Amino acid sequence: MPAPALGQCDAYNLTGRPIKTMKESALAVEVLLATCNGERFLREQIDSILGQDYEHLRVLARDDGSRDRTKEILNDYAARFPDRFRVLASDGASGSAKENFLRLMKASTGEYICFCDQDDVWLPDKLSRTKEAMDRLESEWGANLPLLVFTDLRVVDDALNQQHRSFWAYMSIDPDRIERLNKLLVQGVVTGCTAMLNRRLLELSLRMPEEALMHDRWIALLASTMGKHAVVRAPTVLYRQHDRNVLGTGAVQNRKSLRGRLGRSEALNYLKEWRANQRQAAALLRLHAAEMPAGRRRLIAAYLRCGSSASGLIRVSTFLRHGFYRVGILPNLILMWNLWIQSQDEQQAD
């Protein structure tokens, strides 16, 4: 039987295979799609979601004040696929991707949650591979524990031509750093558009503070301190880099030479990021200390001492003893130097 044209029947996915509607089966995965002026690539992204080989999914979209045709596109899909695509009513622009996703998280009713950017393309087995890993986690640890699954990405240009086969390899990201909180506190490894959360982790994430750098950084810290995780060591997303990325890795587009990294501005960037990470860690301890294992609390407290101790020697020695390292030798030398200088400046100010 040939598949009907899009829009004629919502009981088919985009591959033409019959599926159960959300009225006939329990919703398993809800894809949270955050948009803002994303008309250029949006249809291609949505089609890649609705064309997944995993059938029990629904898209929950929210637009953050687009001035192009993004809202029109979202409403078109909602009209054509009413059981599989829903758009949140406008409640004013949030002004940030983090807040846009947080509002989607608060409105979500899915058993499992995935995040979705507006300009990528999902490979057809993204959800099925991720859900299989989640099922293995739940069979081992149970659904009452916060659980997270994330994957690698393939970097492509705006026409989907491959630029780098593995985002992790290109950016020197070790996904196993999520197992080492001392490393995760200073440098994230989870890219939000690859992540799947179970309901417990979602609920834990809803108290996301202002200090959280991004939703994916915060969620990874929660999973590392109070839950479990699994890594799918293969790309599941074509991670599009183009001249109008709202989210994406600026480092992919602007990787600097060694000479450039030695400049004062780059050193200040490392220090600025360090301070932002420390504010995020302080918020994590403030909100969730009672729920963490004691060892996790002590490690976060040690990390905070790196920026608060009166002695530069204590700051640097604590940094070294606990291994609060970024990837690469040079960034860590810059950070240790700045920790020392910062301590000296504070003592002179007193």
Alpha-carbon Rg for the chain in angstroms: 21
All structural domains of the chain, each given as residue ranges with its CATH number in brackets, are 29-251 (3.90.550.10), 256-349 (no CATH)
Q: Under a CB-based contact definition with an 8 Å cutoff, are residues 196 and 151 in contact?
A: no
Q: Say what the pLDDT of residue 3 is.
A: 36
Tokens of 80: 């054509």
pTM: 0.86
Q: Among candidates 146, 149, 142, 136, which has minimal Cα distance to 196?
A: 149
Residues 202, 136: Cα–Cα separation, whole Å: 18
Buried-exposed string 184-223: b where 16+ CB fall within 10 A, e elsewhere: bbbbbbbbbbbbbbbbbbbebbeebeebbebbbbbbbbbb
Buried-exposed string 264-277: b where 16+ CB fall within 10 A, e elsewhere: eeebeebbebbeeb
DSSP per residue, 87-117:
EPPP----SSHHHHHHHHHHH---SEEEEE-
Which residue type sits at 287?
A: L
pLDDT single digits (tens) 46-78: 999 999 999 899 999 999 999 999 999 999 999
Tell me which residues of the chain have a pLDDT lower than 70: 1-27, 244-267, 345, 347-350
Q: Under a CB-based contact definition with an 8 Å cutoff, are residues 113 and 32 in contact?
A: yes
Residues 281, 185: Cα–Cα separation, whole Å: 7
- What are 148's strand-pairing partners? 197, 229
Q: Under a CB-based contact definition with an 8 Å cutoff, are residues 203 and 88 in contact?
A: no
Helix (H) or strand (E) holding 62: strand 57-63
Residues 33, 25: Cα–Cα separation, whole Å: 22
Q: Say what the pLDDT of residue 257 is.
A: 37
Q: Say what the pLDDT of residue 244 is.
A: 61
Q: Say what the pLDDT of residue 29 is.
A: 97
Q: Among candidates 173, 160, 152, 116, which has minimal Cα distance to 236?
A: 152
- 81 C-beta neighbours (distance < 10 Å), count: 24
